[in-house]
Amino acid sequence: MNKFQIKQIKVEKNEVGSFYGKFVIDALIPGQGITIGNILRRVLLSELGKIAITGIRIPGIKSEFSTIPGLREDILELILNLKGINLKSKTNKVDFGKLKIKGPKIITADLIQLPPDIEILNSKHYIGTLSTSDLLELEFKLEYGTGYKLAKNPFLLQSDKFLQLDAIFMPVHKAEFLIETVYDFQDNITERLFLEIWTDGSLTPKEAIYKSSKFIINLFRSILKNKVVKKLK
């Protein structure tokens, strides 16, 4: 069996906290590059998860067409801004946060009160502007998930329930791979796999590779534990 190695050859972090990483896997048998590249890309984009705001409760608001006293933005604009908050959590449990602020004030993400296990990565993200001395109170529901969650009855506002929000739980924004054929002096042929990963900052590209590889290993381990005992006729 060939012993291949993975190396991180480049890593960058931009101003908003997102990461870019480039990796290379050497000494692959011809055909292994496409197999490894495809499965890693698939898992990176669809099986890794993160925490996001999935619900909001606004005291006194009964309709998406209501206005919040003193707030320059309407409900739909407020929700859109909240969706842009990038969170990182040490746990996968459901949590809650709150915002209580008196105007006049420019409201940014760092004013949200969260449990100690949750971090806001883009703390200066704009939420809204209170142009008067009114008091704004918001409650947030935070959940861990994978992929994309479409809100059910998004505008069903009740005083005792959270307004559900669409949520994106994908820490990896983009993943691409390239395969290069390598010939040595003995005319032996191997493959070199280049893998590029862009993340939102809640995971580094190296962490994304590790978690994806662990997911794949556990998937095949579960197949090994459940051995096929009957042959197809």
Q: Which residues pair with 1 in a beta bridge?
A: none
- Count of CB atoms situated within 10 Å of the CB of 170: 22
Closest among 20, 41, 15, 37 to 28, alpha carbons compared: 37
Closest among 103, 179, 87 to 140, alpha carbons compared: 87
Q: Is the pTM of this model over 0.85?
A: yes
Distance between CA atoms of 38 and 212, rounded to whole angstroms?
A: 12
* Ordered per-residue pLDDT tens for the chain, 233 residues: 567 788 999 999 987 889 999 999 998 999 999 999 999 999 999 999 999 999 999 888 766 677 889 999 998 899 999 999 999 999 999 999 999 999 899 999 999 999 999 999 999 999 999 999 999 999 999 999 999 998 876 555 554 578 888 999 999 999 999 999 998 888 789 899 999 999 999 999 999 999 999 999 999 888 888 765 554 44
Dig out the tokens for 211 from the structure: 């978690």
